[in-house]
Structure 1
Amino acid sequence: MPEPTIAVLDVDGTLVDTNYQHALAWYRALRSLGETFPLWRIHRLIGMGGDQLVSALGGDEVEQRIGDEARDRWVGEFDELIGEISPLPGARDLLLAVKDRGHRLVLASSGKPQHVDAFVDLLDARGIADAITTSEDAEQTKPAPDLLQVALQKLGASQDTASVLVGDSVWDVEAAKNAGMPAICVRSGGFGDDELRDAGAVGIHDTPGDLAAALDGTPLA
Structure 2
Amino acid sequence: MTLKALIFDFDGLILDTETPDFIVLSEQYRRYGADLRPERWMHGLGTTDGYDPYGELESLTGVILDREALRREHRERYVALCAQQPLQPGVRELIVAARKRGIRLAVASSASREWVEGWLEHHRIRDSFHCVRTRSDGLRVKPAPDLFLSAAACLDVAPESCVVLEDSPNGMRAAEAAGMRCIAVPVALLDALPLPPHTLRLRSLADLPPEQLLDLLAREN
TM-score w.r.t. structure 1 length? 0.76
In 1, Cα distance between equivalents of 2:78 and 2:42: 17
1:9 paired residue number? 8
In 1, Cα distance between equivalents of 2:24 and 2:130: 31
8 A contact 1:30–1:70 mirrored in 2: no
Matches within 5 A, 1:12-161: 12-26=11-25, 38-54=36-52, 58=56, 73=72, 75-157=75-157, 160=159
1:202 paired residue number? 199
Deviation at 1:200?
1.4
Report which of the two structures shows the higher radius of gyration computed on alpha carbons: 2
1:184 paired residue number? 183
8 A contact 1:138–1:146 mirrored in 2: no
Q: CA RMSD in A?
A: 3.6
8 A contact 2:117–2:126 mirrored in 1: no
In 1, Cα distance between equivalents of 2:70 and 2:176: 27
8 A contact 1:8–1:108 mirrored in 2: yes
1:155–1:70 Cα change, 3 Å:
farther
In 1, Cα distance between equivalents of 2:75 and 2:82: 10
| Total equivalences in the alignment | 212
Name the aligned partner's letter for residue 162 of structure 1. S
Q: For structure 1, list consecutive stretches of 5 or more residues without a partner in the other structure.
A: none
1:46–1:145 Cα change, 3 Å:
same
| Secondary structure at the counterpart of residue 49 of structure 2 | helix
1:113–1:99 Cα change, 3 Å:
same
Runs of 4+ residues over 6 Å off in structure 1: 28-32
8 A contact 2:44–2:50 mirrored in 1: no
Name the aligned partner's letter for residue 46 of structure 2. M
Q: For structure 2, list consecutive stretches of 5 or more residues without a partner in the other structure.
A: none
8 A contact 2:172–2:182 mirrored in 1: yes
In 1, Cα distance between equivalents of 2:17 and 2:50: 19
| Secondary structure at the counterpart of residue 126 of structure 2 | coil
1:97–1:6 Cα change, 3 Å:
same
Deviation at 1:51?
2.1
In 2, Cα distance between equivalents of 1:220 and 1:138: 35
1:189–1:183 Cα change, 3 Å:
farther
